[in-house]
Structure 1
Amino acid sequence: MFLKHLHAIPAITLLLAILTGTALAGSPVFNVDREYYPYYPSLIKWNKSKAEFTPPSVCKECHVKQYKEWAGSVHSLAFVDPIYQGELNKAGKAVGHEVTRQCEGCHSPAGMVAGEIQGAGNSGLSEMALAGVSCDICHSINGVTHWQTPSHEPENGSFILTPGVETKEGIQLLKHGPLKPHNACGGGFHECVESGLHLQADLCASCHQVYHYDAHFPLEATYIEWKHGPYAQKNILCQDCHMVDIENFKRSADEFVKPERKEYRHYFNGANYLLTYLAAGAAKKAGDTNHAKILMKQYEMAVERLKSAGDLELAPVYRDGHLAELRVRVKNVRAGHNLPTSLTNVRQMWLEVTAKDETGKTVMTSGEVRNDGTLPDNARLFNSDGMGENFHFAVDPWVITSFSRHDTIPPRGYKDVFYGIATLGMAKSLSIEVKLRYRQADQKVAEALLGAVPKDIDLKKIYDLKAVPPLPVVDMVVKQASFPTSH
């Protein structure tokens, strides 16, 4: 029938249909303009000129307080982090340096665009490259390209760096910030530029949205989680929780009240207590006790944030008058994004449950950490499972192109978990203890990453690590309750 009526279709119409169909069939889902993004898969744009980046040792001459706050932050450790370096080393061997520029662009933007970083390791790099996300990186950002990215969302460093410009009078350094500059701002060293972007979450979005380098699948979606939640609707931004101390963080999260100008700090504090703990040990071993104290303060803040972020509710479920199940409601009460967030296929947040009868006999357990640091199969985890193009389980970020399970808790949201209670015999009551626990990574994943650090990072010499110890676990919430076995 098709052949019979083919002659009735005008030739030009048929040609257009064929060409259009071919074009659509051959169009990629995510178009990449390699000229627009010369460092792809990093999406940084650099307005290159003779104006150089300013290392933090120069910034601290005038900004002592801000420098001390930043120096204890994970931003300052973003590139030298041994776990990141292990991951970068593994990625470089698996997919090559052209791909790992994506990681380097957010962990050391200046080092990447300047071409200093050619793979994992710290040897031979400048102060600016080693400083990670330093003062001059954030204050050289004068725009973002979120809509122009392949996914038309913030991803993989989609910001524009302009540390300065060339003028007829010479090189002029430009530093962008949220305040209207006063006449003496910059002290003659740089010009100050008022930037509305620095009052928006879009400033943070570029690097806190990590997408697969080719498939553009969101491995980390912290910004989108925030944007699609109640904190964005209430105008509580990343800066309002992560650039303040603990008490102001709690107020922002609980009351949706923005901090006063004087309350902002350059802490950039989040949940990564492991990184600041390791760095504090390295500083102490190097004899820098003052810096070790600054880092330990950041460690303590991170732990306190985790303990403030979640909550638990325990409730019995009775059937035919007998205790049949325990319902545990896990709530995200203060995180403005999902709990947990970031690299959720590596992070571990889980429930440990112990139930005892009135004689003290344990009748049910779930989620206890094994002697080798791993979790049992019955542990109820709140994280993600990654998979590659073949739909098989994967943990490496350069392999993961989708999630087979994504079980995190949205801001101000909750998830219910039910635990069946077996026949209790003569027991009249049950005592329950439930812990919401968190650690930065699965024990075996951490061992693999720290085991992959490049040769110029001596874990024994720098961190006094002879072997990978059990990863520290934070008990975010601990709740006890007692319920009768009949009702």
Structure 2
Amino acid sequence: MKRTSRLFTALFTCFALVGAAVAALAASPVFPVDREFYPYYPSLIKWNKSSVPFNAPEVCSGCHEKQYKEWNGSVHSLAFKDPVYQGELNKGVKAVGHEISRQCEGCHTPIGVVTGEIKGPGLAGLSAIALAGVSCDVCHSISGVTHQQTPARVAENGSFIMSPGVESTEGQILIKRGPIPSHDECGGGFHKCEESPLHLQANLCASCHQVYHYDDHFPIEATHNEWIAGPYAQKAIMCQDCHMVDIPTFKRSADQFVKPDRKEYKHYFSGANYLLTYLAAGAAKITGDEELAKSLMAQYEMAVERLKSAADLELSPIYHNGKLDELKVRVKNIRAGHNLPTSLTNVRQMWLEITLKDEAGKVVMSSGTLNADGSISEVARNFASDGMGKDFHFAVNPWEVVGFSKHDTIPPRGYRDTYYGLHFPADLKNVTIEAKLRFRQADQKVAEALLAAVPKDINLEQMYGLKAVPPLPVVDMVVKEATVETSK
């Protein structure tokens, strides 16, 4: 009897402990947040606060004129002033409040967030350093990252540490970090230099190029994850090796897995956001700053050329019983070190447009053409994502997207095949097939909604010369044509 009682007690204790453990697990959040460790949450920036000030980019230009001119006109310099971003931010604040939207501000103007200057959407009354977005002192003050401490335990939402300097018995000491070994003359007496291996790593960029939902921590943008799962990470080709160089050097890095020489790195931060630099060039012309307008148009042209260099198409006609019946189009990601497209893949649009013409050049079949209102045909092959909210229904706003119902982007050095059933008059002996891989940064209606939502202190007509939202520019990344027989 005693043995039975002891066994019962042991089993009861065991089950109680298991039950308590299960209950505790159920009560624990999947993504625990340490609010003391991350005082600017949902932005995950950390600031080693001191009296040492941050400096506006114009201060840095005194000694680093070349680097300043490269940066001035880059998407980093426009990150906060971007009217599309400001429209999105304004919509987000109205929907979920400013505290949550700080997640966005933490990467678009980090210094403005930690100093408390940014209190909402808009540009009025802000200092030059807050308006400068991702400026010199943002990147060169970074002393570390906290990727392993974030709620998702990966890089997300600005998980870096800024340390612009230290206080000493001799006063304030400014410290700037970068990949170059320090030497006695470095900083010219204005600041000290500190060699930083982090500035040669993709981990530096990952902090902001991974955007997770502010509460559910779903990866809305996962560019670093895409890179780390691909061959460029395996070959040690970092973000900087493709995005901080000119186009010929980018092609060499991507094609041959060869790292650039030190002298080949620039502060362009060139990506695919050609719309932003195009709009900003128009704004610079309105103010009469022709030098800046020229720099911005150079950035625009680099972005377009980068898109045109990133992919390729293969056309394969398919015959059944000797008759041309189908077309296989293989879309290849040949140079992007991340997925194609990347960033906000539920907003970006990269699609195929197929046209068949007869011997006289008359179109006999098409697929993927734009509708009259600028929207993409529902049957077009669009390599993108469909976001969904907590109700599992379609969602496009980043504060609503907690999953993808479709995620159909192309991994680095990967491909996607699309098949088309072909229809044309039976008497044709030959048809000419034209395939285009097309890209634009958002759906026309999405862009119109965002630009319509800009804060009141941003006058699109005065600043950008926009009386109405024009049709969004489309870049033809690849165009391939082939004339094939209709029978064999």
Q: For this structure pair, what is the TM-score category when the shorter chain's length is used for normalisation?
A: over 0.9
Mapped pair 1:283 → 2:284: yes
Q: What whole-Å deviation, never above 9, does each CA across 1:348-374 have from its counterpart, x for those lacking one?
A: 111111002224332210111122111
1:324-339 alignment runs, 5 A limit: 324-339=325-340
- 2:472 is matched with 471
Q: Distance in 1 between matches of 2:26 and 2:63?
A: 58
1:159-174 alignment runs, 5 A limit: 159-174=160-175
Q: Distance in 2 between matches of 1:154 and 1:279?
A: 30
Q: Distance in 1 between matches of 2:372 and 2:18?
A: 65
- 1:34 is matched with 35
- 2:371 is matched with 370
Evaluate the alpha carbon distance shift between residue 12 and residue 318 of structure 1 in structure 2; reply closer, same or farther with a 3 A threshold: same
Q: Distance in 2 between matches of 1:146 and 1:21?
A: 28
- 1:354 is matched with 355
Q: Distance in 2 between matches of 1:317 and 1:232?
A: 36
Q: Secondary structure at the match of 1:372?
A: coil
1:136-155 alignment runs, 5 A limit: 136-155=137-156
1:24-103 alignment runs, 5 A limit: 24-103=25-104
Per-residue deviation at 1:52?
A: 1.0
Q: Distance in 1 between matches of 2:195 and 2:83?
A: 36
Q: Secondary structure at the match of 2:153?
A: coil
Counterpart AA for 1:107: H
Counterpart AA for 2:157: N
Q: Secondary structure at the match of 1:394?
A: coil
- 2:117 is matched with 116
Q: Distance in 2 between matches of 1:43 and 1:65?
A: 31
Per-residue deviation at 1:283?
A: 0.2
1:223-262 alignment runs, 5 A limit: 223-262=224-263
- 2:8 is matched with 8
- 2:454 is matched with 453
- 1:303 is matched with 304
Q: Secondary structure at the match of 1:351?
A: strand
Q: Distance in 1 between matches of 2:103 and 2:5?
A: 53
**Greater CA drift, 251-260 or 420-429:** 420-429
Q: Distance in 1 between matches of 2:195 and 2:370?
A: 51
Q: Distance in 1 between matches of 2:9 and 2:349?
A: 61
Q: What whole-Å deviation, never above 9, does each CA across 1:227-280 have from its counterpart, x for those lacking one?
A: 110001111100000000011001001111100000000000000000000000
Q: Distance in 2 between matches of 1:53 and 1:474?
A: 38
Per-residue deviation at 1:6?
A: 12
Q: Distance in 2 between matches of 1:15 and 1:390?
A: 35
Counterpart AA for 1:333: I
8 Å CA contact retained: 2:243, 2:271: yes
Structure 1: which 5+ residue stretches go unaligned?
Answer: none
Q: Secondary structure at the match of 1:29?
A: coil
Per-residue deviation at 1:12?
A: 3.5
Counterpart AA for 2:70: E
Per-residue deviation at 1:20?
A: 1.1
Per-residue deviation at 1:181?
A: 1.2
Q: Secondary structure at the match of 1:193?
A: strand
Q: Distance in 2 between matches of 1:484 and 1:9?
A: 83
Q: Secondary structure at the match of 1:393?
A: coil
Q: Distance in 1 between matches of 2:273 and 2:174?
A: 33
Q: What whole-Å deviation, never above 9, does each CA across 1:49-99 have from its counterpart, x for those lacking one?
A: 001111101000110000000001000000000000000000000000110
Q: Distance in 1 between matches of 2:429 and 2:439?
A: 33
- 1:133 is matched with 134
Q: Distance in 1 between matches of 2:330 and 2:5?
A: 64
8 Å CA contact retained: 2:365, 2:424: no
Structure 2: which 5+ residue stretches go unaligned?
Answer: none
Per-residue deviation at 1:450?
A: 0.2
Q: Secondary structure at the match of 2:426?
A: coil
Q: Secondary structure at the match of 1:106?
A: helix
Counterpart AA for 1:41: P
Q: What whole-Å deviation, never above 9, does each CA across 1:190-242 have from its counterpart, x for those lacking one?
A: 11000010010000000000000011100001111111100011111000000
Q: Distance in 2 between matches of 1:16 and 1:370?
A: 63
Per-residue deviation at 1:19?
A: 1.5
Q: Distance in 2 between matches of 1:444 and 1:28?
A: 37
Identity of aligned residues (%): 69
**Greater CA drift, 15-24 or 274-283:** 15-24
8 Å CA contact retained: 2:278, 2:296: yes
1:375-386 alignment runs, 5 A limit: 375-386=376-387
Counterpart AA for 2:97: G
8 Å CA contact retained: 2:364, 2:424: no
Evaluate the alpha carbon distance shift between residue 264 and residue 21 of structure 1 in structure 2; reply closer, same or farther with a 3 A threshold: same
Mapped pair 1:434 → 2:435: yes
Evaluate the alpha carbon distance shift between residue 16 and residue 424 of structure 1 in structure 2; reply closer, same or farther with a 3 A threshold: same
Evaluate the alpha carbon distance shift between residue 7 and residue 424 of structure 1 in structure 2; reply closer, same or farther with a 3 A threshold: farther
Q: Distance in 2 between matches of 1:361 and 1:78?
A: 45
Q: Distance in 1 between matches of 2:124 and 2:5?
A: 72
Normalised to the residue count of structure 1, the TM-score between the two structures is 0.98
Q: Secondary structure at the match of 1:313?
A: strand
Q: Distance in 2 between matches of 1:393 and 1:14?
A: 43
Q: Secondary structure at the match of 1:147?
A: helix
Q: Distance in 2 between matches of 1:182 and 1:380?
A: 55
8 Å CA contact retained: 2:346, 2:385: yes
1:372-451 alignment runs, 5 A limit: 372-422=373-423, 424-451=425-452
